[in-house]
Amino acid sequence: MCQGLFVHSQFCHWNFCFVIRELESETDKDCQILFQIGRDTLEDEFTGMLERDKTKKDRDPILDTLKSCVKEEGMKKHEWDEKAEDSLVNLVRTRIVLS
């Protein structure tokens, strides 16, 4: 009887570890999607800001190209802060566990 409980306990432990790994994999996928959405939103906001600036009467057209180049380089080099990444991962994992 005790041996059967031990085997059952080991199986449950293995099954639990498998489920945790699956959840972590899903979390990573969800976070990548969320990071991409955040990046796209950031780029849309910068683009909108530059477009609004072009309609201002006191704008200097020479700076339009410079602003566009700064935006493009900023987006190429943009990286999320590690603390922000950790917070988002923890939030997504908590959401998965609670649902």
Model confidence pLDDT, tens digit, residues 40-89: 998 999 999 999 998 988 888 888 889 899 999 988 988 878 887 788 77
Residue 34 has pLDDT above 90, yes or no: no
Do residues 34 and 91 lie in contact, with contact meaning Cβ atoms separated by under 8 Å?
Answer: no
pLDDT at 22: 67
Q: At what angle do helices 2-54 and 82-98 cross, to 10 degrees?
A: 130
d(Cα 40, Cα 43) in Å, to the nearest integer? 5
What does the alpha-carbon distance between residue 5 and residue 18 come to, in Å, rounded to a whole number? 20
The domain tally of the chain equals 1
Long-range contacts of range 49-58, CB-CB < 8 Å, 24 or more positions apart? none
Identify the domain containing residue 14 by its residue range: 2-98
User: Regarding predicted confidence, which is higher, 53 or 5?
Assistant: 53
Taking 60 as the threshold, does the pLDDT of residue 16 lie above it?
no
pLDDT confidence bin for 12, thresholds 50/70/90: low
Q: What is the amino acid identity at position 37? A: I
Measured CA distances, 80 to 84, 88, 95 (Å): 7, 11, 21
Helix or strand holding residue 58 (H, E): none
1, pLDDT greater than 50: no
Q: Answer yes or no: are the C-beta atoms of 97 and 35 closer than 8 Å.
A: no
